[in-house]
């Protein structure tokens, strides 16, 4: 019974007793129809600490480090200096370095005139563009992918702390007890650092991100093997409940037993709730098309964006989608243009769709990577390689909805895009702001672990008021 401290026996018992007499005594057939009635579980909705701007968050994570100067942050000066020698001493690269101008042209789009490169066709739609808030002031701290990913996802580069989504569900619970409160979707490949990026860290395991896999079973072993049907499963659970109930009767003092029994009931409900929510066939054709499900290039990300909307609509608190391949050290033009094509249409569709359903105001959408990219590069294999290195001093984020400014550019980088110079903030401030929008105060959202109250920002951070309406 090695319970974490905060879930002291007393609290835990309250929760379990709160489930009442239904445990074990209710037939699973009844549960099939019944909604989750328990409102006292660890994931039960909790009151925000202050009136929230956003109820849920969808984070689109571009793994590899998208280049700010080739997406949303134009640097004409860099174009002038293309292939000229760079004497900058930053990052790790040594030897001959040269500046790389962006291969893309830039436009001012929408009423607001925010800037994006010409590869963004759908995000440039005024209906979408004027919802966006581009943040150019963030600075990362780790030059390497896994540490930087850990930092952006968990507030610490060590890879052992709770993820942002874990903190959010810890603070707010989830609106739907039949679905995980924090859902993570990845491309086929896991990002570097793997599941540590959505781990509950030292928070209780209820708050870990649950991966919905793109292929195979969305949650591992969600369904019984093919030769066992649902009737078979129901029968098994009934017999298991019989065995467990007799055991519980012999151990009335042992309260953990009830939690484990309740889990079987919850799992049985999830087996239908999860396939339901991820069944995109229920969406009208035109919407599927809008998300790009009919095009191999956008299908994967489109599915995940559409699923994210369905999940949030069904009460999931935090959804994260990882999309890889942004690490363009070379051949940036084709790399970034292809990556942009694969996310542009789905992301624009997501924003439009949320807006059409009046959900955008209360759903925070964040598009980000783990760091930005350098204005210069070194030769590879003796050739001028047109790509960029890792840059922790400047990056770009795009936000929409959830109380962020509409059609705004916040912060700025220097004329080469080497470093953020205006409205400069470390990652922790972005985290604090994100929690703030969700109605949570980072300084109060703490968990006592290993001798101190820990928080997402580690030691506190600042809200970035410029981002907020």
Partner 1 sequence: MPTRIFFYLAIACFAIATTTSTRLLAADKPTPTAPITQPDAERLFALKVAPLLKSKCLGCHGEKPDDLKGDLDVRSLAGLLKGGESGDPSLVPGQPEQSLLFSAIKWDGYEMPPKENDRLTDAQIELVRQWIVAGAPWPSDEKQSELRKAEWSVESNEDGLIVKTSGGLADEWTYRRYDPADLWAFQPVKPTVAPDGQHPVDWFLTQRLNAMGFAPTEEADPRTLIRRASYDLLGLPPSPEETDAFVKLYSKNPEQTWEQLIDRLLASPHYGERWGQHWLDIVRYADTGGYSNDYERSNMWRYRDYVIRSLNNDKPYDQFIVEQLAGDELADESVRARKRSDEKAVRQTRLNGDYTPEESEWLTATGFLRIGPWDNAMVKVPEARQIYLDDLVNAVGQTFLSTTMRCFKCHDHKFDPLPTRDYYRMYAAFAGTQMAERPAPYLPTENLEGFEEGKKRVEQLLAYAIAEKNKLVNKRETAARKWFKEHNLEYVSLDKRKSLPDEVKPTRHVGLDYIEQGKLKIREQDERIWTRRLERYESMVQSVYNGADAQVKATYARKLRIKNNIDFTKQPQSTIFTGGSLEAPGEKVQPGVLSPVGLTVPQSDLEDPYRISSDLEGRRLAVARWIAHPENSLTTRSIVNRVWQHHFVNPLAGNPNNFGAKGDKPTHPELLDWLAHNFVEEGWKLKRLHRLLMTSHAYRQANTHPKMKELLTQDSDNHLLAYFPPRRLTAEEIRDSLLMATGELNRTVGGLPVMPEINMQVALEPRMIQFSLAPAYQPSRTPEQRNRRTIYAYSVRGQADPFLELFNQPNPNESCEVRDSAAVSPQVFTLLNSGVMTDRSIALAQRVQQETDRVDEQIERAFQRVLGRSPDSQEKPRMLAYVEKMREYHQQVTPEPSVYPAKITRSLVEELSGRPFEYEEILPVFENYQPDSKPSEVSAETRALADFCLLLFNSNEFMYVY
Considering only 220, 281, 282, 284, the residue that binds partner 1 (CB under 8 A) is 220
Give the integer Cα–Cα distance in Å for 374 and 368.
16
Residue 463 CB, shortest distance to partner 1, in Å, is 11
Q: E strands of 394-463, at which residues?
A: 397-400, 408-410, 412-413, 420-422, 425-426, 447-449, 452-454
List the interface residues with partner 1, window 106-145 (CB under 8 A): 143-145
Q: Does 29 participate in binding partner 1 (rule CB under 8 A)?
A: no
Residue 418 CB, shortest distance to partner 1, in Å, is 18
Q: Does 465 participate in binding partner 1 (rule CB under 8 A)?
A: no
Least Cα distance to 392 among 225, 228, 149, 105 occurs for 149
Nearer to partner 1, 108 or 251 (CB): 251
Q: How far is CA 292 from the centre of its chain?
A: 21
Residues 230-269: x where in contact with partner 1 by CB under 8 A, - otherwise, as a string: --xx-xx--xx-xxx-xxx--x-xx-xx-xxx-xx-xx--
Q: Does 22 participate in binding partner 1 (rule CB under 8 A)?
A: no
State the number of binding residues for partner 1 (CB under 8 A): 108
Interface segment toward partner 1; rule CB under 8 A; list 129-137, 337-345, 360-368, 413-421: 337-345
Contact (Cβ atoms closer than 8 angstroms) between residue 146 and residue 194 = no
Nearer to partner 1, 174 or 363 (CB): 174
Least Cα distance to 24 among 235, 234, 244 occurs for 244
Nearer to partner 1, 283 or 429 (CB): 429
Interface segment toward partner 1; rule CB under 8 A; list 25-33, 102-110, 201-209, 403-411: 201-209
Q: How far is CA 218 from the centre of its chain?
A: 17
**Tokens 């350098």 label which residue?**
374
Residue 334 CB, shortest distance to partner 1, in Å, is 5
Nearer to partner 1, 130 or 330 (CB): 330
Considering only 6, 82, 313, 331, the residue that binds partner 1 (CB under 8 A) is 331
Give the integer Cα–Cα distance in Å for 343 and 298.
7
Contact (Cβ atoms closer than 8 angstroms) between residue 317 and residue 169 = yes
Residue 134 CB, shortest distance to partner 1, in Å, is 21
List the interface residues with partner 1, window 279-308 (CB under 8 A): none
Q: Please report, for residues 400, 407, 460, the alpha-carbon distance to residue 463 in angstroms, rounded to integers and kept in the order given.
A: 17, 20, 10
List the interface residues with partner 1, window 1-20 (CB under 8 A): 1-5, 7-10, 13
Considering only 224, 276, 279, 294, the residue that binds partner 1 (CB under 8 A) is 224
**Tokens 């506190």 label which residue?**
460
Buried b (16+ CB within 10 A) or exposed e, 129-157: bbbbbbbbbbbbbbbebbbbbbbbbbbbb
Cα-atom radius of gyration of the chain, to the nearest Å? 24
Interface segment toward partner 1; rule CB under 8 A; list 153-161, 275-283, 393-401, 404-412: 153-161
Contact (Cβ atoms closer than 8 angstroms) between residue 362 and residue 355 = no
Interface segment toward partner 1; rule CB under 8 A; list 106-114, 128-136, 395-403, 439-447: 439-447
Give the integer Cα–Cα distance in Å for 408 and 134.
6
Interface segment toward partner 1; rule CB under 8 A; list 359-367, 377-385, 406-414, 426-434: 377-385
Residues 179-198: x where in contact with partner 1 by CB under 8 A, - otherwise, as a string: --------xxxxxxxxxx--
Considering only 55, 303, 310, 339, the residue that binds partner 1 (CB under 8 A) is 339
Give the integer Cα–Cα distance in Å for 269 and 177.
9
Element (H, E) at 185: strand 182-185
Residue 110 CB, shortest distance to partner 1, in Å, is 26
Give the integer Cα–Cα distance in Å for 322 and 299.
14
Nearer to partner 1, 342 or 404 (CB): 342
Give the integer Cα–Cα distance in Å for 377 and 379.
7
Nearer to partner 1, 201 or 401 (CB): 201
Interface segment toward partner 1; rule CB under 8 A; list 28-36, 165-173, 334-342, 430-438: 334-342
Considering only 275, 337, 419, 468, the residue that binds partner 1 (CB under 8 A) is 337
Interface segment toward partner 1; rule CB under 8 A; list 223-231, 310-318, 349-357, 413-421: 223-231
- End-to-end, the C-alpha distance of the chain in Å comes to 47
Contact (Cβ atoms closer than 8 angstroms) between residue 390 and residue 114 = no
């Amino acid at each position: 019974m090695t319970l974490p401290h905060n879930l002291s026996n007393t609290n835990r018992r309250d929760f379990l007793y709160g489930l009442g007499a239904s445990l074990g005594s209710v037939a699973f057939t009844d549960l099939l129809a019944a909604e989750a009635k328990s409102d006292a579980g660890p994931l039960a909705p909790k009151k925000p600490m202050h009136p929230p701007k956003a109820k849920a968050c969808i984070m689109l994570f571009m793994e590899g480090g998208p280049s700010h100067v080739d997406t949303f942050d134009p640097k004409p000066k860099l174009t002038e200096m293309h292939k000229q020698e760079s004497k900058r001493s930053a990052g790790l690269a040594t030897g001959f370095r040269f500046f790389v101008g962006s291969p893309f042209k830039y436009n001012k789009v929408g009423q607001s005139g925010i800037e994006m490169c010409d590869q963004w066709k759908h995000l440039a739609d005024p209906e979408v563009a004027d919802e966006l808030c581009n943040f150019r002031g963030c600075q990362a701290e780790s030059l390497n992918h896994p540490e930087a990913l850990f930092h952006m996802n968990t507030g610490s580069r060590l890879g052992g702390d709770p993820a942002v989504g874990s903190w959010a569900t810890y603070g707010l619970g989830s609106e739907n007890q039949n679905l995980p409160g924090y859902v993570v979707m990845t491309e086929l490949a896991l990002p570097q650092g793997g599941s540590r990026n959505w781990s509950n860290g030292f928070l209780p395991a209820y708050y870990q991100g649950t991966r919905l896999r793109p292929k195979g079973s969305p949650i591992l072993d969600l369904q019984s093997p093919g030769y066992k049907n649902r009737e078979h499963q129901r029968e098994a659970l009934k017999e298991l409940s019989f065995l467990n109930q007799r055991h519980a009767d012999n151990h009335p003092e042992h309260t953990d037993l009830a939690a484990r029994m309740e889990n079987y009931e919850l799992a049985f409900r999830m087996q239908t709730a999860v396939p339901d929510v991820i069944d995109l066939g229920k969406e009208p054709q035109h919407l599927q098309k809008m998300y790009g499900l009919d095009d191999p290039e956008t299908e994967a990300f489109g599915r995940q964006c559409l699923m994210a909307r369905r999940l949030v609509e069904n009460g999931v608190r935090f959804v994260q989608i990882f999309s890889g391949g942004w690490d363009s050290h070379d051949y940036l033009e084709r790399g970034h243009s292809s990556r942009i094509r694969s996310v542009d249409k789905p992301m624009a569709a997501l924003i439009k769709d949320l807006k059409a359903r009046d959900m955008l105001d209360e759903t925070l959408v964040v598009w980000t990577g783990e760091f930005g990219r350098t204005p210069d590069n070194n030769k590879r294999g003796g050739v001028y390689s047109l790509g960029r290195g890792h840059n922790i001093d400047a990056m770009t984020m795009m936000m929409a909805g959830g109380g962020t400014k509409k059609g705004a550019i916040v912060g700025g980088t220097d004329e080469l895009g080497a470093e953020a110079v205006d409205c400069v903030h470390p990652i922790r401030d972005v985290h604090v702001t994100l929690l703030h929008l969700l109605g949570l105060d980072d300084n109060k959202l703490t968990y006592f672990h290993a001798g101190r109250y820990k928080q997402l920002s580690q030691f506190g951070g600042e809200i970035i008021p410029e981002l907020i309406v």
